Structure 1
Amino acid sequence: MEYYELDSIDLQLLDALQRDASISNVALAERVNVSPPTCLRRVKRLTESGWIERQVAVLSSDKLAASLGHGLSALVEVSLDRQGSEHLGAFEARAVAHDAVQQCWRVSPGPDFVLVVQARDMPHYLAISQTLFTQDANVRNVKAFFATKRAKFTMTWPLSFRTPTTSTI
């Protein structure tokens, strides 16, 4: 296996790209003080080695809610009766396949899963809950928390304090 050690330039590139992946290569190169061809090579290497999984657009929840309906965000704890790997895997597969589930986390201790669910409204959430929870005999307990305000939302990792690490590629 080949080892790829992140250096301070790589960390600066990752930090800048996680904040704004639409930045041009020239602007990114200027920000981290390297030439544009070097910057392009490094970003390509970071992507090919799996440090960058994908680039996405983060949509405005307020504008979507105003345009498509009120919008309802729920954080949902799910506990299963049987926790064998086949049971956990089956529930996880159903949850991640559902479009309304934005995030699915296996957690411990406590519930088996925490889901972040985005619904149009309460009737839509009810339909989602019937599909994911009510129809599954292995679901023991569901506890939903409905968001009243989003105080912070970010996808960034704090990289400025980190020292370079070694990883296999």
Structure 2
Amino acid sequence: MESITLDAVDLQLLAALQRDASLSNQALAALAHTTPPTCLRRVKRLRDAGLIEKQIALLNPERLATSLGHGLTAIVEITLDRQDAEALERFEARVADETAVQQCYRVSPGPDFCLVVHARDMPGYQALTQRLFTADANVRNVKAFFSVKRSKFGAELALA
């Protein structure tokens, strides 16, 4: 990945894509006040530089609830017995492979990790805890906080 210098147009493109990555190239070019070919080239450059990691669709959990149920969201604090680099990386690799773990943060001070987990129901959450935490002899403490309402959700980074 190359290191690049960002100008005002790059920042406008990144800001617009954070809000709606489904914008057509023409619409994106209009928002950034540039031509479509220039816009396409710049977005490719931003992607190649690793500034755009991936594009995803954010699903509406309330609307999906009628089909799939509300599910269960938990913020889980994990403390390990050993915190050497290998042990931390091994734990990160385990949770990275688990689709129910939506986010994983290595934190300090306090617990070693905070996870955002989504499970279909409490038995699904219990099965997840067995796979990730109970079976791992290095996990010393697990503390879960269950969400009763999502009042804000986003992934937009401040660019200014």
- Considering the TM-score relative to the shorter chain, is it more than 0.5? yes
Alpha-carbon separation, structure 2, partners of 1:145 and 1:45? 41
User: Structure 1 segments of 4 or more deviating over 2 A?
Assistant: 63-66
Say yes or no: does 1:128 pair with 2:111: no
> Which structure 2 residues correspond to residues 16-165 of structure 1 after superposition, within 5 A?
16-159=16-159, 162=160
2:2/2:48 contact within 8 Å kept: no
Q: Which amino acid aligns with 1:65?
A: A
Higher-RCO chain (CA-CA 8 Å, sequence separation at least 6): 1
Residues in 1 aligned to 2:99 and 2:2: alpha-carbon distance in whole angstroms: 37
Contact 2:77 2:113 in 1 (8 A): yes
**Percent identity of equivalent pairs:** 64
Instruction: Give the distance between the partners of 2:4 and 2:92, measured in 1 at CA.
Output: 32
Checking the alignment, whether the CA contact within 8 Å between 2:25 and 2:40 is kept in structure 1 is yes
**TM-score, normalised relative to structure 2:** 0.95
- Alpha-carbon distance between aligned partners in 1 of 2:2 and 2:100, rounded to the nearest angstrom: 39
Q: Secondary structure at the match of 1:83?
A: coil
Q: Distance in 2 between matches of 1:82 and 1:2?
A: 36
Relative distance call for 1:67 and 1:113 in structure 2 (3 A) is: same
TM-score (norm 1): 0.90
C-alpha RMSD over aligned residues: 1.3
Corresponding residue SS for 2:4: strand
| TM-fit CA distance, 1:3 | 4.6
CA distance in 1 between partners of 2:2 and 2:46 (Å): 14
Matched residue of 1:54: which SS? Answer: coil
Quote the Cα distance in structure 1 between the aligned partners of 2:70 and 2:30.
Answer: 42
CA displacement at 1:35 relative to structure 2: 0.9
In the TM superposition, residue 2 of structure 1 has moved relative to its aligned partner by 6.2
Deviation at 1:57, TM superposition (A): 0.7
Q: 1:123: how far off?
A: 0.9
Corresponding residue pairs, total? 160
Measured in 1, the distance between the counterparts of 2:3 and 2:141 equals 44
Q: Distance between the aligned counterparts of 2:28 and 2:89, measured in 1?
A: 41
